[in-house]
Amino acid sequence: MTLQQALSFGLVGLTVIVFIWGRWRYDLVALGALAVGIAIGVIPIKSAFDGVSNDIVIIIASALVLSAAVARSGLVDTILAPLVPRLKSEKSQVPVFATATAILSMLSKNVGALALMMPTALQIARRTNTPASRVLMPMSFASLVGGLAVLVGTSPNIIVAEVRGEATGTPFGMFDYFPVGGILTVIAILYLTFAYRLLPKDRKASISVDAALAANAYMTEVEVPAGWDWKSSRVGDIRKFGDGSNQVVAILRNHKRISAPHPNRKILAGDTLLLEGEEQELNELIVRAGLKMSLTDRPVALAEPTDEVRVVEAVIGANSDLVGESAKSFALHEAHGVNLIGVSRSGYRMRGPLSSTRLKSGDILVLQGSEQSLPEALKALGLLPLAEREVRLGGIRHAIAPAVILVGAMVVVATGLLPVAAGFFIAAVLVVAVGALRMREAYAALDAPVLILVAALIPVSDSISRSGGADLIAAALSGAFHGMPPLVTLTAMMAVAMIATPFLNNAATVLIVAPIGMGLAKQLGLSPDPFLMAVAVGAGCDFLTPVGHQCNTLVMGPGGYRFGDYARLGAPLSVIILLVAPLLISLFWPFTVP
C-alpha cells in the first residue's frame, strides 16, 4: 500500500466515522473531508471542485425543480380526485397511495414524489380518522423502490450511471433500471398492502411551524366570474369540498349582504363570496372552482423587470397604525403598493367585506406585493412577518405544462437525443420560463445539503480510485470470494451497500462502494454491470432507519414515528429485496463480459 492510498483510505474512513457519529451535519462533514483532502494532497487542487459541475449534481437539482413544478400544478390531485371518495379506510388508502407514490417516483425524484403526495394523504387520513402512522411509512418505502425503476428516480441510480460512464464511456440509460426496479416495485407494494399492519396506530404526529401556521382559519374575498358553471354551485357544496373546513361566511349580491347563507342557497355568477378556511383548502377550492380573487385586481408596481410578486403573512403589532383602520380607509394599495387578500382573527368570524373590515392587534394578514416593496411596507405599517413559507390563495396554476415538459425530457433522454444532464436541465429552465414555477420557488425546491454533500464527496471518493485504492480493495475481496458463485458475491455487494446507506447517506454510499464494485468485477473477470446495479439497489433501499434517506426523514414527524418503527416494517422488506433483487439482476444483466 502506497502513502497516497493510505491517506485516501484514512480520509474516507475518518469521514465514515464522523458520518456515523452524527455530531455534525452531513454536508459540513463532506465539505470538511474535501478541505482535508486538499490539504494532505490526495485531492489535486485543479479537480477539487469538479463535483460542482458534475452531471450528477445537475441531474439531481433539475429533477428536484421538475418535481416541485409538477407538485405546484395540482395535476396529481386532479387525477386522484375520482378515487378520493372511495378511500374510506387504511385498507384502501395504503395500496392506493403507495402505488401512486411509486409511479410518481418513476417520473421524478422520489423525495419530490413523496412530498407531492403527502398533503393529500394526510388530508384524507384526517377526514377518515385513519392514523397517519399507518399510511406515511408505506408511502416512503414505495417512493424508494419506485425510484429504483428509472435513472432520475433516485440519487444512487444517477451516480451509478455516471460511474459506469466514466469507466466504460457509456452510462446507464433512462430505463435500463426498469426491468429490475419495476418488478421490485410491484413486490414491495404487494408486501406493503398487507404488512402496514405491523406499524403502530397510536403515534402522535409532531407539528411543524408551517403546519401550525397553515391551521389558521383565513377569510378571503372571491368573485364568481360571468358564465361560471361549476358542478358544485350551492353553499353546502363549498363546505363539502376538500377537508370540510371551507365556509361561505357571507354572499355579497347586488350591494346586499346575505350573512350565514343556507346550505341550499345557489351561488350565482357575479356574486362576491366571503370564504373562510385553512390556506391549503381555500387555495384548492379557488383554483379548481375557477373563482377569482377580488382583492388582487389592482396591479402591483414592480421596481424593475426582474422583481417578483410575493405573498406573505404578517401579524399586526400593538403599535401598528393599522389598528382600528380598514384596508380601504388606510389606502393600503395607494400608499404602500400592497393588496390585502386574507385575514385571520382568532375567536371571531368577520362577516363584512375585507376592504372595510376594521383590523385589530394580533390579526394575521395575507398581503400581496412586490418582492422589493413588501419589506418596506411591513416596517412602515408596524407588521411582524411570520416564519417564511409559501402562501397561496388563488393565483395562476399551470396544470399541464410541467407534466408535458417532464415527459418530453424523459423521451428526449431515453431516445438519446440529449444527455441526461442536458435534457433535464433544459426542462427545469423551461418550467420556470413558462411560469409554472417562479425562480424563488425553484431555489426553494433545491435540496442544498444534498447537493453540497454530493458535490463535495465526488472528489473525495475519486481519490480512492485515483490512488489505486479501489483496485486494492477489489483484489482483497476477490480473494475472499474466489471460487464462490457470482450470485453470492453479488448478494454480498448489495448487502454491503444496504448496510452502509443508513449511516453514510445513499449518495455517499454509492460514491464510495460503486468504484469498489467495479474493481471487484474486474478482478473476478465478470461484467461490472450487475455489480453496479446491486450497489444502486442496495444504496436505494434504506428501510431500517429514518436518517439514511430524505424520504424516511420526511415522514418521521407527520407520522409520529420512533427510530425502531422503521425496522418493524422495513426489516422484512429488506430481506425480501436482498433475496429477490440479485436473482433479477443476474437475469437481466448477465455476469459474462460482453
> What does the pLDDT look like over 412-470, one tens digit per residue?
877 778 877 788 889 889 988 888 888 878 887 787 777 887 788 778 877 777 777 66
C-alpha cell at 156: 444512487
C-alpha cell at 303: 421596481
Residue range 66-88: average pLDDT? 75
Out of 97-111, 345-359, 471-485, the most confident range is 97-111
pTM of the model as a whole: 0.67
274-283, 399-408, 431-440, 522-531: least confidently modelled range: 274-283
Beta-bridge mates of residue 256: 253
- Whether the pLDDT of residue 178 is over 90: the answer is yes
Q: Is 12:512 a contact under the CB 8 Å cutoff?
A: yes
Residue range 404-418: average pLDDT? 80
3-state helix, strand, coil in the chain (%, to 5): 60, 10, 30
Please say whether the dihedral angle defined by the alpha carbons of residues 452, 455, 460 and 465, taken in this order, is positive or negative.
positive
Q: What is the pLDDT of residue 387?
A: 53
Please give the single-letter amino acid code of residue 192.
L
Query: CA nearest 239: which of 214, 292, 276?
Result: 276
C-alpha cell at 528: 461490472
| Structure-model confidence comparison of residues 46 and 563, the more confident one | 46
Query: CA nearest 72: which of 20, 119, 105?
Result: 119
| Spatial CB neighbours of 472, under 8 Å, sequence gap ≥ 6 | 1, 5
- Whether the pLDDT of residue 209 is over 70: the answer is no
C-alpha cell at 374: 413588501
- Degrees, nearest 5: CA angle 418-421-426: 75
d(CA 507, CA 550): 11
- Confidence class of residue 191 from pLDDT cuts 50, 70 and 90? very high
Report percent pLDDT > 90 for the chain.
16
Q: 274-306: buried (b, 16+ CB within 10 Å) or exposed (e) per residue?
A: bbbbbbbbbbbbbbbbebebbbbeeebebeeee
- Whether the pLDDT of residue 389 is over 70: the answer is no
127-141, 363-377, 464-478: least confidently modelled range: 464-478
C-alpha cell at 175: 430505463
Helices (H), 290-415: 327-330, 332-336, 373-381, 401-414
Q: What is the pLDDT of residue 583?
A: 95
Which helix (DSSP H) or strand (DSSP E) does residue 313 occupy?
Answer: strand 309-316
Residue range 161-168: average pLDDT? 84
3-class DSSP assignment, residue 248: strand
Q: What is the pLDDT of residue 212?
A: 45
* pLDDT tens digit sequence for 241-250: 655 667 787 8
Question: How distant, in Å, are the alpha carbons of 132, 140, 182, 402 from that of 80?
Answer: 19, 18, 22, 17
Out of 38-47, 157-166, 309-318, 583-592, the most confident range is 583-592
Please give the single-letter amino acid code of residue 120.
T
Q: Distance between the two ends of the chain, CA-based, in angstroms? A: 32
- Phi, psi values for residue 568, rounded to 5°: -60, -45
Write the secondary structure of 18-39 as one string of H (helix), E (strand) and C (coil): HHHHCCCCHHHHHHHHHHHHHH
Q: What is the pLDDT of residue 208?
A: 47
3-class DSSP assignment, residue 396: coil
Question: What CA dihedral angle connects 19, 25, 30 and 33, to 10 degrees?
Answer: -70
Which residue reads 358564465 in cell numbers? 227
Residue range 161-172: average pLDDT? 85
d(CA 79, CA 81): 6
C-alpha cell at 492: 454480498
d(CA 127, CA 528): 50
Q: Is 157 exposed, middle or buried (0-12, 13-18, 19+ CB in 10 A)?
A: buried
| Spatial CB neighbours of 388, under 8 Å, sequence gap ≥ 6 | 312
